[in-house]
């Protein structure tokens, strides 16, 4: 089973991520953290290994950059998926360990394809 943690405070975007993952040809166990504190707690309490973390930068309590700082370098790929297009924020996320950074598109089909592509790129299904 592929395990994905999405750190996303926008309920609509969280639903779209869930919808996109249902469209894959393999099962995905998705956990959603609604803010940075919940994400840190889930990551520290989790005994299970994650295959991918999808991180929004603009989240409450502890922002995405602080989450990256707190988790430090980890084996699990972290992909930033955020509405921010600020090159400085993207650069900082990369410096803090994000493998890639994507801006959320407004188009549903493009959003779905992007999420599915992230998982396909970083997850191997055996």
Q: Please write the tens of the pLDDT for every residue from 31-43.
A: 999 999 999 999 9
- Domains of the chain by range and CATH? 2-121 (3.40.50.2300)
Kind plus residue range of the DSSP H or E element containing 3: strand 2-7
- Structure pTM? 0.94
Residues in the chain, total: 126
Q: Please write the tens of the pLDDT for every residue from 100-122.
A: 999 999 999 999 999 999 999 99
Sign, CA dihedral 84-86-87-90, equals negative
């Amino acid at each position: 089973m592929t395990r994905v943690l999405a750190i996303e405070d926008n309920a609509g975007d969280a639903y779209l991520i869930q919808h996109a993952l249902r469209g894959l040809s393999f099962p995905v166990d998705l956990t959603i953290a609604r803010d940075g504190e919940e994400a840190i707690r889930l990551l520290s309490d989790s005994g299970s290994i994650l295959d991918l973390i999808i991180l929004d930068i603009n989240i409450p309590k502890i922002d995405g950059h602080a989450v990256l700082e707190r988790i430090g370098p980890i084996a699990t790929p972290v992909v930033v998926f955020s509405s921010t297009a600020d090159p400085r924020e993207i650069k900082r996320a990369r410096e803090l360990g994000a493998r890639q950074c994507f801006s959320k598109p407004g188009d549903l089909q493009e959003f779905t394809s992007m999420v599915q592509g992230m998982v396909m790129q970083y997850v191997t299904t055996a």
